[in-house]
Amino acid sequence: MVHGAGAGRGPARFGKEKYKRARSTRVLLSYLWSYIKKYVWEIFLVVVISILYSALTVVNPLIIGEGLNGLDVSNISSFSAYTMIIREGYNASYVTDLSSFSVYTTLIILVIVFLVITAIGWVISSFSTRIMANMNSKMLHEVRSDLYTKLSYSDMAYLKNEQSGNITARVTADTGELAVGLQMFTSIVSQLLLIIASFVMLMITSWIIGLMTLGALPSIFIMAGGLSFFARKIVLRVRRAFGIVSGKMAEGLEGIAVAKSFNREEELATELRELNHQHYKYSRQFGMLMMFVFPSMTALGYGVFIVVILASGWINMSAFFSIGDIFKVLQLSQSFLFPMVMLSMMFPQLESALGAMDRVIDIFEAKPAVADVEDAEDLQIEDDTVNFNKVSFAYEANEYVLTNVSFSAKPGEMIAVVGHTGAGKTTLFSSLLTRFYDVNNGSISIGDQDIRSVKQSSLRQAIGLVTQEPFLFTGSVMENILYGAPNATEEDVYDISKRINADEFIEALPQGYDNQVVEGGKKLSAGQRQIITVARTMLADPRILVLDEATSRLDAYTESLVQAAQRELFKGRTTFVIAHRLSTIKDADRIVVLDQGELKELGNHNELMEKEGIYADLYNTYYVHQGLADIMIKPEDLGIETLDQDIQTKKGNAHKMAMGQKHGGMKGKKPSKREMKKMKKEKDGVSPMEQQSSKGLTPEMIENLKERAKGLNPEDIKAMMKKMKKLTGEDFPEELKKMLLQISEKHKNKR
Amino acid sequence: MAVQTVTNDNGMNYNDNIQQEILKKYKTETRWFWSALLRYPIRYLIATILMAGSAFTSAKTVALVGNVVGILSYNVSENLTIFSSDFITTIIWMIVYIAIGFVGSSGSIYIWADTSFRFQRDIRQEFYEVIQQHSMAFFDVNDSGVVLSMGMNEVNQIRLAMHPSFRHLLNSFFTIVITTYLVIEYDWIIGTVLAAAFVVYFIIAWFYAERVGPIRKKLATDLGNLSAVSQEMFKGVDTVRSFDNHEKEITKFNHVSEEYATDMKREGYLSSFYWPALITIIITAAAFAYGLYNVIQGNYGLLGAGVLISILGLLLNLNRQNFMIPAHLINLQAGLQNAKRLWNVMDFNDPLVQPKTPQDADWDKTVGFDNVSFAYPGTEKLVLKNVSFSIPPGARVALIGGPGSGKSTILKLILRLYDPTEGTINVGGVSIESMHTNYVRSNVTMVEQDIFLFSDTLKANITFSKPDATSEEIRKAAERAQIATFIDSLPEGYDTVIGERGVTLSGGQRQRVAIARAMLSNPRILLLDDSTSAVDIKTELRLRYAMDELMRDRTSIVVTQRLTTLVAADIIIFMKRGSIIGIGKHKELLKTSPDYQFMCKHLPMTENERQNNDTSMGGNA
């Protein structure tokens, strides 16, 4: 009964490939000991029972053997009894004579002893099973709970890079395998004991036959060796094929709406059938391998018997060999050989249990980079000033996504954050201010407390974060909104929903506030999900609020409703809004402009417009166009697009994690030089294009220029170009020059 | 996504109405489970015959052990030639039996295993195909992770019940019957008692297994919950952490984990004190006593002790079955339970029914909603109430409204993912309920808000809507979707694998791949759910161009918040709480709809536009 099998929900769990352990078996066992030492009495009991049980198992054939020999009790050897029987021509009266009192007594005693011993064996092995079941289930729970707790508090970097399915597999499948391994340990102990006991009894009964039985060992070892060699390969293949089928089916189910809308069910079914068939073919190979195992063992057992009986005939030992002894030898050699086979078949499983343990220990031993200091205090409640002091941060060594960012937000101030994708907006507020990661240089403080000296829990209670990707938990809408404010009442929920205009749509749901959220809210639209997350955060009533594109998924109408409510909602809170909506930005007290990880501009809308810097650019090219103005940029002018840098970094990260794991788990965080080079190469492959788009003129800038050209005389344009040349040190593209002049001409009349 | 025809042994081909066929063919979950034997009768029959044969020969071998010992003892005690011809003959017979047993049982195991793996493959495929054809009503309420686990793990469980468990049980059965027969030959009293005892044994064992079955099922559910809780937390770790709710999540997890531990313990407890084993123990002891008595009485004749060894050997052999039978009985029970669960899911009573005589429609005619009301299957609340409108061919329709206003539902109804609860949707007067879903969907295409792409090459993703598209067509579609330059910049171009095992695309890129995909399908009616706004100007512009291309020359219905789209629309339908609260052009709505005015007022526009709007609103007021 393999617990924990079939734990994985996603395809990832099944695709697991061969895994190389980082720790020696000894280290793993000593680690295991730390868990099982609590149950030292139980284990002691189980071992004692195992010893008793193997003794009983061995004693049983002895008793039957004695029973057969018991025919000797009447001082006539059993064989001469036969002789007599035959000579007397089945003389019944003689036989009756033979059955003297003592024979029957012995017989009855033997049968009773046999019965009692078997019954005792049954009882104690059942007890042992109970003790094991109790211990195993408790320990599994403990390991799981510890592991889960550890993972919950582990580094964001780790959690973000691993797929949630993989982490879950650590918690369910690996611990399950561990439990199986534990069970196996006790089983191994008892099998070993059985082997030893059988062998000892065998040697006592007849050392010659005992030695002959040893002769069967090489063939068992060869068979077991060959079996595990091929089994490992085939099992891996089967698993991989299973993983692929699972992945395909998962995709088919998740993408069912797409398949339906393009009428492609048939093709998907065909593809699955193909993979499914492949899986079958590998499974068949496995069947082919396993078909010989048990038949061979049976054949081997009888082979040994034939050899034994021939040999005993040959050396004419049978005179010393009573019929009972032959029976004993037979049974003992079986109970000696059979556990051998069982043991050899257990090793692959044991190996995978040790592997699982290795992975589990990896997690236990990892030291979180972000942790409370020893004398961590609660966050004070008087001062909500947020200071960023020369903050620099890199997810990857030396690849800074933020450099030297300094500014401070006054209590109750609303700060809008703008900048291009990859400017570091999300990192600064969603990751650093919340202390999901620690800054590399500089510091962030609230009031006069560095956030690193504050208890994480008190910090996070003070900060409310609405993430870009709305995430909901399984449960009702009501429970979801209550998530961050356990003490709030349902009334509070209704109230807050009304205030952000969410109540209308929630009430429109089939079960209203009691509507169940399935699978992260797949039945809800992204907008519906997002507005619930906004309600959730507002109900938690944080002092400091971070809204990371919190309304980007709302439809125009809802967004306008939320917009209308926001002033009131932000009142009294220090608020950071990462936004792309013009109206939000214009409402802000101050605007922070980030560009490539640096704080470039800071001030309110009017101030920044006057500066004619990055913000003014952004405003003129983008924010303005959220309205109805015509867009002048042609598709071909949009420049070359690349893979998203953020995502690429993350991928590299994940890649490194995987590599690190192979070389000794999470301890080995630094990649080798060779890996670094390789990663660098991968990066270099992308970077020239990136540079191209960041250097020179971006489409936004071009658009901005075009926009400005409408209001300028041709002479002004020429002057501007000169100024540009001075600034950038590069010639102005001739085509653009012409274009701008044309625009200027065209708008001449309007001026 | 190379589409090949797979040579399949039973020639299964894709079937449009596989659900009905399977339900009709197998009727109950039990029959579906046992259908393994009907699907491959010859193979299973051969395996069974081989199994019976090998059970016979191995029992015979055990019995011969006693004979050999008996003969040997006799020869020794009589000072006869030790290797008498009797002895040699018996040994040779033994070797023959061993050889036959070896071949027979290997062969039977292999054939049985192979056939069961075939069965596994077939039911997995069946399950998937049936589930796939369920309408969205099914997928709305069922967690895809759970369904996946059914299709993978539980199908495995069903196979495990067939092979090795049912095979073992069948083998045990043969062994018991044959042993009983052989024992009767030696001693009919022991034999008869044995036969009776085993009947009792099996009955008790089955009841025992039935008790374990539910716990097994519970354990499976527990494990599912455990994964679900854990997975959810790791997916939403930002949220958990930002609310500092770790403790709460850990408590939740511990609760589920404890439940699992309790059930695991219960199962362990049940498997201890497996008291049917006592029956075989008692029988062995009784046979031992009775046999000894008989030997002493000389009832077994010449080879008396040998006979006893044979009988005991056979009995001990049976005793060994004790170790296997309970586990296999439980597996068989579990397999039946799993089959039941799968069957219930396959037996989903779909509210969406294909028409008996599907009709075609003229898609160049008006699409009309006639008093359409809709509640999601299984719920009562109407998410659409008496919605009526008509869309002339080629029109650009924009749908707006808050979350839950019903705009996405309108799209789903046009795609016939659901049927209206009341009222009809028609194309040129033909109700779409009288059309086959495949026909509807070959004329209507939807680009969803949450883009789903397959972890496959870009090419495969784009041609998903038209597998036989030429590379010229693919290029053209990609160009029009503004994604061609990007794809060209990738080292592997259209063969770049995306998703988990490949390159990660940004949201905007995914959207445009989906647009290229929709472009290739060249629908008559385009449904576009575009309610998110891009965060970046370049992304925004590319998307806008791509969508303009996609909407060209066809009827389009777009859920949007882009003002440009609203202004350009021929018809704007403004939804609120499942009803239409405004319908008309931008300018008209500005005059007639206060909600629309409110929305426009709060949306960003150039100063110029704002003034325009203000004046038009003012003019109205």
Residue B538 and residue A327: Cβ atoms within 8 Å?
no
Nearest alpha carbon to residue A46 among A144, A128, A102, A140: A128
Residue of higher predicted confidence among B315 and B252: B252
Three-state SS at B9:
coil
Taking residues B188-206, report their average pLDDT: 83
Chain B, residues 356-385, CB within 8 A of chain A, namely 375-376, 379-381, 383
Q: Counting runs of H as helices and runs of E as strands, what totals does chain A give?
A: 29, 12
Using the Cβ of A217 and the Cβ atoms of chain B, whether some distance falls under 8 Å is answered with no
Residue A8 and residue B157: Cβ atoms within 8 Å?
no
On chain B, the residues whose CB falls within 8 A of the CB of A64 are 288, 312
Q: Which of A153, A260, A635 sits opposite B417 (nearest CB)?
A: A260
- Cβ-in-10-Å burial (0-12, 13-18, 19+) of A673 comes to exposed
CA A22, CA B551: separation in Å to the nearest integer?
Answer: 57
Asked, for residue A288, whether it belongs to a domain, the answer is: yes
Cβ atoms A632, A142 nearer than 8 A:
no
Identify whether residues A93 and A195 lie together within a single domain. Answer: yes
Using the Cβ of A622 and the Cβ atoms of chain B, whether some distance falls under 8 Å is answered with yes
Residue B454 and residue A255: Cβ atoms within 8 Å?
yes
How would residue B51 be classed by pLDDT, with cut points 50, 70 and 90? very high
Chain B, residues 183-212, CB within 8 A of chain A, namely none
Identify whether residues A176 and A61 lie together within a single domain. Answer: yes
Residue B376: per-residue pLDDT: 85
Q: Within 13 Å, how many C-alpha atoms sit on residue B89's CB side?
A: 4
Is residue A22 scored above 90 in pLDDT?
no
Say which amino acid occupies B133. Q
- Which residues, 6+ apart, have CB-to-CB distance to B300 below 8 Å? B186, B187, B291, B294, B307, B308
| Bridge partner list, A213 | none
Asked, for residue A381, whether it belongs to a domain, the answer is: no
Angle at B289 between CA B288 and CA B290, to 5 degrees: 95
Q: How far is CA A487 from CA A75, A492, A499, A504, A573, in A?
A: 90, 10, 19, 24, 20
Q: Which of B95, B272, B454 sits opposite A130 (nearest CB)?
A: B272
Q: Domain B367-584 in CATH: superfamily?
A: P-loop containing nucleotide triphosphate hydrolases (3.40.50.300)
Asked, for residue A373, whether it belongs to a domain, the answer is: no
Identify whether residues A518 and A601 lie together within a single domain. Answer: yes
Using the Cβ of A178 and the Cβ atoms of chain B, whether some distance falls under 8 Å is answered with no
Q: Which of B121, B148, B500 sits opposite A277 (nearest CB)?
A: B121
Is residue A74 scored above 70 in pLDDT?
no
Chain B, residues 394-433, CB within 8 A of chain A, namely 400-405, 408, 415, 417
CATH of the domain at A196: 1.20.1560.10
Domain boundary among A592, A612, A629: A629
Residue of higher predicted confidence among B614 and A8: B614
Cβ atoms B289, A108 nearer than 8 A:
yes
Using the Cβ of A474 and the Cβ atoms of chain B, whether some distance falls under 8 Å is answered with yes
Using the Cβ of A656 and the Cβ atoms of chain B, whether some distance falls under 8 Å is answered with no
On chain A, the residues whose CB falls within 8 A of the CB of B437 are 260
How would residue A3 be classed by pLDDT, with cut points 50, 70 and 90? very low
CA distance B44 to chain A (A): 15
Instruction: Kindly report which listed range (A280-289, A373-382, B317-326, B442-451) carries the lowest average pLDDT score.
Output: B317-326
Identify whether residues A595 and A738 lie together within a single domain. Answer: no
Residue A82 and residue B77: Cβ atoms within 8 Å?
yes
Q: Render B383-403 in DSSP notation, one character per residue.
A: SEEEEEEEE-TT-EEEEEE-T
- Which residues, 6+ apart, have CB-to-CB distance to B614 below 8 Å? none
How would residue A622 be classed by pLDDT, with cut points 50, 70 and 90? low
Taking residues B71-76, report their average pLDDT: 75
Among chain A residues, the shortest Cα distance to B118 is held by: A280
Nearest alpha carbon to residue A227 among A100, A337, A345, A318: A345
Nearest alpha carbon to residue B403 among A582, A523, A499: A523
Q: Taking the alpha carbons of A85, A91, A94, A98 in that order, is the dihedral positive or negative?
A: positive
CATH class of the domain whose range is B18-209+283-346? mainly alpha
Give residue-wise pLDDT tens across range A110-143.
778 878 888 888 888 888 888 888 888 888 898 8
Three-state SS at A217:
helix
Residue B77 and residue A255: Cβ atoms within 8 Å?
no
Three-state SS at A494:
helix
Residue A337: per-residue pLDDT: 77
How would residue A213 be classed by pLDDT, with cut points 50, 70 and 90? confident
How would residue A100 be classed by pLDDT, with cut points 50, 70 and 90? very low
* pTM: predicted TM-score of the whole model, two decimal places: 0.75
Say which amino acid occupies B348. F
Largest pairwise CA distance in chain A: 143
Q: Which of A172, A266, A628 sits opposite B609 (nearest CB)?
A: A628
Using the Cβ of A122 and the Cβ atoms of chain B, whether some distance falls under 8 Å is answered with yes
Identify whether residues A50 and A65 lie together within a single domain. Answer: yes
List chain B domain ranges.
18-209+283-346, 367-584, 585-621
The two structure tokens encoding residue B577: 């709480």
H helices of A629-713, where? 645-662, 673-694, 699-709
Which run of H or E residues covers position A418? strand A414-418
Cβ atoms A514, A485 nearer than 8 A:
no
Identify whether residues A359 and A433 lie together within a single domain. Answer: no
On chain B, the residues whose CB falls within 8 A of the CB of A473 are 232, 236, 239
On chain A, the residues whose CB falls within 8 A of the CB of B240 are 152
Q: What SS3 string covers A568-616?
A: HHHCCCEEEEECCCHHHHHHCCEEEEEECCEEEEEECHHHHHHHCCHHH
Using the Cβ of A8 and the Cβ atoms of chain B, whether some distance falls under 8 Å is answered with yes
Residue B4: per-residue pLDDT: 35
On chain B, the residues whose CB falls within 8 A of the CB of A508 are 381, 383, 404-405, 577-578
Residue A430 and residue B238: Cβ atoms within 8 Å?
yes
How would residue B103 be classed by pLDDT, with cut points 50, 70 and 90? very high
Cβ atoms A279, A242 nearer than 8 A:
yes
Residue B559 and residue A555: Cβ atoms within 8 Å?
yes
Among chain B residues, the shortest Cα distance to A113 is held by: B285
CA A745, CA A725: separation in Å to the nearest integer?
Answer: 22
Give residue-wise pLDDT tens across range B258-290.
999 999 898 888 877 777 778 877 887 787 778
Q: How many residues does chain B have?
A: 621
Identify whether residues A597 and A650 lie together within a single domain. Answer: no
Residue B261 and residue A561: Cβ atoms within 8 Å?
no
User: Among the ranges A240-249, A395-404, A441-450, which has the highest mean pLDDT value?
Assistant: A441-450
Chain B, residues 14-53, CB within 8 A of chain A, namely 14
Chain centroid, CA A64 distance in Å: 55
Identify whether residues A168 and A79 lie together within a single domain. Answer: yes
Give residue-wise pLDDT tens across range B290-301.
877 777 776 665
Could you tell me the residue range of the domain that residue A692 belongs to? 637-746
CA B12, CA B122: separation in Å to the nearest integer?
Answer: 9
CA distance A134 to chain B (A): 6
Identify whether residues A68 and A100 lie together within a single domain. Answer: yes
Preceding peptide of A635 cis, ω within 30°: no
On chain B, the residues whose CB falls within 8 A of the CB of A520 are 232, 235-236
Question: Mean pLDDT over all residues of chain B?
Answer: 82
Cβ atoms A46, A186 nearer than 8 A:
yes
On chain A, the residues whose CB falls within 8 A of the CB of B564 are 628
CA distance A750 to chain B (A): 15
Three-state SS at B593:
coil
Residue B48: per-residue pLDDT: 95
Query: Best of B82, B89, B121 to disrupt the A interface by mutation (most A CBs within 10 Å)?
Result: B121
Q: Which of A302, A464, A627 sits opposite B94 (nearest CB)?
A: A302
Chain A, residues 44-103, CB within 8 A of chain B, namely 64, 67-68, 70-71, 77-80, 82-83, 85-86, 90, 92, 95-96, 98-99, 103
CATH of the domain at A418: 3.40.50.300
Asked, for residue A331, whether it belongs to a domain, the answer is: no
CA B562, CA B532: separation in Å to the nearest integer?
Answer: 9
Residue A460 and residue B243: Cβ atoms within 8 Å?
yes
Residue A557 and residue B254: Cβ atoms within 8 Å?
no
Q: Is the ipTM beyond the 0.95 threshold?
A: no
Asked, for residue A400, whether it belongs to a domain, the answer is: yes
Identify whether residues A415 and A357 lie together within a single domain. Answer: no
Nearest alpha carbon to residue B607 among A629, A748, A605: A629
Chain centroid, CA B600 distance in Å: 47
Residue B34: per-residue pLDDT: 93
Among chain B residues, the shortest Cα distance to A11 is held by: B148
Using the Cβ of A456 and the Cβ atoms of chain B, whether some distance falls under 8 Å is answered with yes
Angle between helices A293-314 and A217-254 (to 10 degrees): 170
Identify whether residues A84 and A32 lie together within a single domain. Answer: yes
Identify whether residues A562 and A456 lie together within a single domain. Answer: yes
Residue of higher predicted confidence among A353 and A749: A353
Nearest alpha carbon to residue A365 among A18, A12, A661, A16: A661
Chain A, residues 702-721, CB within 8 A of chain B, namely none
| Count of structural domains, chain A | 4
Residue of higher predicted confidence among B543 and B523: B523
Say which amino acid occupies A109. I
Residue of higher predicted confidence among B395 and A655: B395
How would residue B618 be classed by pLDDT, with cut points 50, 70 and 90? very low
Q: Which of A501, A508, A528 sits opposite B383 (nearest CB)?
A: A508
Q: Render B203-217 in DSSP notation, one character per residue.
A: HHHHHHHHHHHHHHH
Taking one residue from A and the other from B, the number of pairs with CB-CB distance under 8 angstroms is 578
CA A742, CA A734: separation in Å to the nearest integer?
Answer: 13
Residue B125 and residue A288: Cβ atoms within 8 Å?
no
- Residue located via tokens 């809004």: A577
Is residue A646 scored above 70 in pLDDT?
no
Residue A319 and residue B76: Cβ atoms within 8 Å?
yes
Query: Best of A180, A256, A694 to disrupt the B interface by mutation (most B CBs within 10 Å)?
Result: A256
Q: Which of B61, B442, B606 sits opposite A263 (nearest CB)?
A: B442
Q: Taking the alpha carbons of A294, A295, A300, A302 in that order, is the dihedral positive or negative?
A: positive
